Amino acid sequence: MDNIYAIIPVTTFKNAKTRLSPFLSAKEREKLLKAMLHDVKKKKKRHVDNIFIISRDKEVLKYAESLNVNAIRENDNSNLNKALTQAMKLCKGKVRKIIIVPSDIPLIGKTNIQMLIDASKTLDFIIVPSKGGGTNMIIMKPLAIHTKYEGFSYKEHVKAAEKKKLNPQVHDSFFMALDVNTTEDLGEIMIHGEKTHTRQYLKELKVNVESFRGSERLKVTRAD
- Domain positions in the chain are 2-179
Crossing angle of helices 183-192 and 197-204, in 10° steps, is: 110
137-168: pLDDT as tens digits: 999 999 999 999 988 999 999 999 999 999 99
Task: Match domain 2-179 to its CATH number in 3.90.550.10, 3.30.413.10, 3.30.1490.20, 3.30.70.1060.
Answer: 3.90.550.10
For residue 145, which amino acid is it? I
**Nearest-angstrom CA–CA distance, 46 and 179:** 21
Q: Would the pLDDT of 29 be above 80?
A: yes
For residue 206, which amino acid is it? K
Q: How confident is the model at residue 212 (pLDDT cuts 50, 70, 90)?
A: confident
Q: Would the pLDDT of 34 be above 80?
A: yes
Q: Would the pLDDT of 41 be above 90?
A: yes
85-107: pLDDT as tens digits: 999 999 999 999 999 999 999 99
Q: Would the pLDDT of 2 be above 90?
A: no
**Nearest-angstrom CA–CA distance, 178 and 166:** 26
CB atoms within 10 A of CB 148: 17
Q: Would the pLDDT of 217 be above 90?
A: no
State residue 100 phi and psi, 5-degree precision. Answer: -100, 125
Q: Print the SS3 string covering 1-22.
A: CEEEEEEEECCCCCCCCHHHCC
Tell me the three state secondary structure of residue 144.
coil
Q: Would the pLDDT of 53 be above 90?
A: yes
Strand partners for 170 = 127
Determine the pLDDT at residue 184: 95
